[in-house]
Amino acid sequence: MFSKKVIVSSLLAALVGISSLTYANIKLVKTTDGSEIKFPEKALVGTDAEKEFLKSGKNIYVGDAKAEADGKKRYNMWSCTQCHGPTAKGQVGPGLTGPKYNYAKDATNKGMFETIWAGTNGGMGAKGYGLMAAEDGVTVDELLKIIAFVRSHNKDLSGNEGL
């Protein structure tokens, strides 16, 4: 009886340990007001890229041709192309390839993610899941692919510098 309890509680401890390791890592903040970004459950799909990003801020899709191609589709699907141009060099909206940005932090993948996920005060709407419309918007994994596509147009800036 006693040993069963010990086994159950150590199993539980292991489970709790694993889940906090996976998700309680870097803090992501909105570009609009600096408050913390909280993800609804459906925004997270559990890919390796998503886990690495939430842990370290690194986007492992940058330089991955398949992810960039997927990102291009989503970049078109979410109308980024209408405002930022087909190769992200700018149109109605600013160019996204850097090295200069309206929001300097966009030179990093973490910063660009924050700007796109929750939008800006200067004319860029939030694109993150649940923010643009209920039950709609990009997932964390999709946004990492979109950013990889944007980065593919400037090989000198991966956004992972220093990570």
Residues near ligand HEC (CB under 6 A): 78-80, 82-84, 92-94, 96, 101-103, 106, 112, 115-116, 120, 122-124, 127, 146
Contacts of 76 (CB under 8 A, 6+ apart): none
Q: How far is the CB of 74 from ligand HEC (least distance, A)?
A: 7
Of the two residues 49 and 146, which places its CB atom closer to ligand HEC in the complex?
146
* Closest distance to ligand HEC from the beta carbon of 118 (Å): 11
Ranked by CB distance to ligand HEC, the top (closest) residue is: 122
The C-alpha atoms of residue 89 and residue 87 are separated, in whole angstroms, by: 6
Which residue's CB is nearer to ligand HEC, number 116 or number 131? 116
Instruction: Tell the smallest beta-carbon distance from residue 48 to ligand HEC (Å).
Output: 22
Estimate the crossing angle of helix 48-56 against helix 140-151, to 10 degrees: 80
Is the Cβ of residue 39 or residue 101 nearer to ligand HEC in the bound state? Answer: 101
Residue 117: CB minimum distance to ligand HEC, A: 10
Q: Which is nearer to ligand HEC, 22 or 103 (CB)?
A: 103
Nearer to ligand HEC among residue 62 and residue 124 (C-beta): 124
Q: How far is the CB of 123 from ligand HEC (least distance, A)?
A: 4
